[in-house]
Amino acid sequence: MNELHENHTAAWLTQAVIDSASTAPDARLRTIFSSLIEHLHAFVREVELTPEEWMAGIEFLTATGQKCDGVRQEFILLSDTIGVSMLVDALASRVASGGTESTVLGPFFTTDAHDVAAGGSIAKAGAGQPLFVSGRVRDTSGQPVANAVIEVWEVDGTGTYDVQYADRVEPDCRGRLHTDANGAFDFRGIRPVSYSIPGDGPVGAMLAALGRHTMRPAHVHFKIESRGHVPLTTAIYAKGDQYLNGDAVFGVKPSLIGDFVRHDDAAEMRERGCDTPFFTLERDFVLVPVQVAAPA
């Protein structure tokens, strides 16, 4: 218990709050809490936060929580747009090195994707321009990773995720795949398009107030897991997209830019069963074995 201080100073208050957690049994929790309080209090002192500004912040965080539901995570969107998600990712990547680089999960991952057989489609007919994706999953020694689970999701041709539709009945433009004995996978989706992150919530209002845009470059999300390997959350971004250097959530890494190749030859279109031009993406992924990722 902290003794009352005759002069309730800002410095005393910060230390009193830190000391209040001194008996917490979890050492890591004590470290995180103490550092958070020290930096948060320093921020308040530095900008001389007013009561009105403090209340505005409380209302912003309250509205952010109220915008969250079973299919939308506004707090993840907030974390993404202020760079915290990618900073956490960058720190974690120092441990899990040697594999495909990771990037943000984003606020639209769901766990209800349908299982899709090799060569099957993750998107309903007419959702956008056809895209055929193929590749292999291997480990850092070059060995194939069989039966890896690959979660894939993307926006449709209008730049909208399925969960953004009020009349969503079942998953669309997302699927769950498994690699074969050689680590290979292939599926049909749609060519991704650049799109705006949701601007109808508190995060959108924050970006508008800051004079920032809400656009993300075209990409396809991949979440890959296999026993004995470090899980990978990543995405492949479309080469040449105008927002590659201005992603609203800072998620693009040069190694994650891929070539979505257009095919408009009539014979190729017939072979693929398409009556319009289609696109292909060939991409391999490398998983890091758990023992390799473990710090020395």
> 179-198 pLDDT, tens per residue?
999 999 999 999 999 999 99
Q: Does residue 28 lie in a domain region?
A: yes
Angle value at C-alpha 257, between 94 and 249, nearest 5 degrees:
65
Residues 30 and 161 in one domain: no
Give residue 11's pLDDT. Answer: 82
Q: How confident is the model at residue 98 (pLDDT cuts 50, 70, 90)?
A: confident
Q: Give residue-wise pLDDT tens across range 223-234.
A: 999 999 999 999
Assigned domain for 257 exists: yes
- Say if residue 141 is in the same domain as residue 185: yes
Q: Are residues 158 and 235 in the same domain?
A: yes
Rounded to an integer, what is the distance from CA 183 to the centroid of its chain?
24
Task: Report the CATH number that the domain containing residue 279 is assigned in CATH.
Answer: 2.60.130.10
Give 18-54 pLDDT, tens digit per residue: 999 999 999 999 999 999 999 999 999 999 999 999 9
In total, how many domains does the chain have? 2
The answer to whether residue 272 is domain-embedded is yes
| pLDDT: which is higher, 97 or 260 | 260
Task: Write out pLDDT tens, residues 135-180.
Answer: 999 999 999 999 999 999 999 999 999 999 989 989 999 999 999 9
Angstrom distance (rounded) from CA 23 to CA 116: 51
Asked if 21 and 143 sit in the same domain, the reply is no
In this structure, the answer to whether residues 126 and 93 fall within a common structural domain is yes
Residue 10 has pLDDT above 50, yes or no: yes
Backbone angles phi, psi at 25, to 5 degrees: -70, -25
36 and 110 together in one domain = no
Q: Which residues contact 67 (CB under 8 A, 6 or more apart)?
A: 74, 201, 202
Does 97 fall in a domain? yes
Please say whether the beta carbons of 137 and 179 come within 8 A. Answer: yes
Any domain includes 58:
no
Q: Are 30 and 109 within one domain?
A: no
Are residue 117 and residue 226 in the same domain, yes or no?
yes
Co-location of 17 and 162 in the same domain: no
Question: Is there a single domain that holds both residue 279 and residue 137?
Answer: yes
In a domain, 174, yes or no: yes
Query: 3 lies in a domain?
Result: no
- Per the prediction, the chain carries an average pLDDT of 93
CB of 237 within 8 A of CB of 258?
yes
Q: pTM score, two decimals?
A: 0.89
pLDDT, tens digit, for every residue of 59-88?
999 999 999 988 789 999 999 999 999 999
The answer to whether residue 65 is domain-embedded is no
User: Is pLDDT above 70 for 133?
Assistant: yes
CB 190 within 8 A of CB 121: no
Q: Is 7 exposed, middle or buried (0-12, 13-18, 19+ CB in 10 A)?
A: exposed
Residues 92 and 239 in one domain: yes
Structural domain span for residue 217: 74-293
Tokens of 272: 């693929």
Are residues 241 and 207 part of one domain?
yes
- State both tokens at 273: 């069963």
